[in-house]
Homo-oligomer: A and B are copies of this chain.
Amino acid sequence: MEKTQQAVRPIYYADGSCYMLDQRLLPVEERWHAYRDYREIAEAIKTMVVRGAPAIGVAAAYGAAFAAAELAQQAPADFEERFAASCTELGATRPTAVNLFWALERMQRCAARMDSKATPAQIATRLLEEAQSIAREDEAINRALGAHGQRLLPQRATVLTHCNAGALATAGYGTALGVIRAAVAAGKKIDVIADETRPFLQGARLTAWELQHDHIPVTLICDNMAGYMLQQGRIDAIIVGADRVAANGDTANKIGTYPLAVLAQAHKVPFYIAAPVSTIDYTIPDGTHIPIEERDSAEVTTCGGQRIAPEGIQVYNPSFDVTPAHLISAIITEHGVVGGDYLQELAPFKEG
């Protein structure tokens, strides 16, 4: 009998540690690291052991909980200030994905809401529960998002996705790939085209791996092949995740998303963003306010650890681009699918 297959999940908490699958080593090796120190979690976010906007949020939440636990042991007078400083440190790891800041703010709000007589130890205990809630909720959100989004896909469809907005980018199930999983669960015949997503190759390494794991048909292409497939009429829809959605619907996502949106429009193919409401940044009116992270040139000059460009070559390596709202056919959230006037349509989802 075949062994029951475990769902893909990149991060979980057990016995005082946060465990993370080292996504830099996939698909060649499945190595897990255990973290107990928030500084190590910050480093893991920075170096992309864990990546994907929602998963980064979950990791940061555990980081904040661990920072609180460490401070609780020392029981300093300035617990609050030092906890805030640790959250700032966790937030300084990656600038673009807003879920990171959303999760840290939620953790800080959770601490602030506690009884003024609560001890640091009690706060730390409560924060660990909160981090676990964030993780649990994230998967539930993705399942709700998937259920809404899958209705957009026809009975048979070839769907292109970029980067990895899958189980590996979240606490589980995925956003863009959650929509695909939900469509498959609904009995639809979905073929996935996965962009390899240079330079970090999240498509080749992660999306291909997790879809293969779930027996969902997937074909890998290089990023620059999507245009030709669209031209040939071989793509029915494009679905990607998001790192930050502005109040007007402008969306930052992995570099290479914007050209896909332009091509989708040129070929009249729907272009969907799948993102939990925690990805919406209501504080910024439009995409011009989203900071775009630039990463190390070595990501471009090497591939699979091999040097692929001359020594001393100048490199530009922006990690994200911004797709203007008018190129987005719909944004799929856990509360439903919205489109058209995003400023008005997204407003009711604002939390707090």
Contact = CB atoms under 8 A, between A and B. Distances in A.
Contact of A301 (B204, B226, B316, B321): B204
A318 B224 CA distance: 10
Contact of A256 (B204, B225, B310, B314): B225
A336 interface: no
A315 B221 contact: yes
A66 to B, nearest CB: 33
Contact of A259 (B196, B197, B226, B255): B226
Interface string A51-92: 000000000000000000000000000000000000000000
A229 B316 contact: yes
- State the main secondary structure of chain A at its contact with B: mixed
Interface string A238-257: 00000000000000000110
B228 A308 contact: no
A263 interface: yes
Q: Which of A208, A229, A258, A308 has the most chain B CB atoms inside 10 A of its CB?
A: A308
A306 B196 CA distance: 14
B307 A304 contact: yes
A311 B311 CA distance: 31
Contacts of A220: 300-301, 309, 313-316
Interface range on chain A: under 10, 10 to 19, 20 to 34, or 35 or more?
A: 35 or more
Interface stretch (A114-122, A134-142, A211-219, A277-285): A211-219
A227 B262 contact: yes
B222 A199 contact: yes
A176 B322 CA distance: 30
Contacts of A313: 208, 212, 218, 220
A312 B212 contact: yes
A303 B303 CA distance: 6
A226 B256 CA distance: 8
Contacts of A255: 222, 224-225, 228
Given A224-B256, A303-B308, A304-B304, 5 more contacts: A199-B222, A204-B309, A231-B258, A231-B322, A262-B266
11 contacts: A196-B300, A196-B308, A219-B314, A220-B316, A221-B315, A223-B223, A228-B258, A262-B266, A303-B306, A303-B308, A305-B306
Q: What 9 pairs across the A-B complex have the smallest Cβ distances?
A: A304-B306, A224-B256, A227-B259, A303-B303, A228-B321, A198-B222, A27-B310, A223-B224, A204-B309
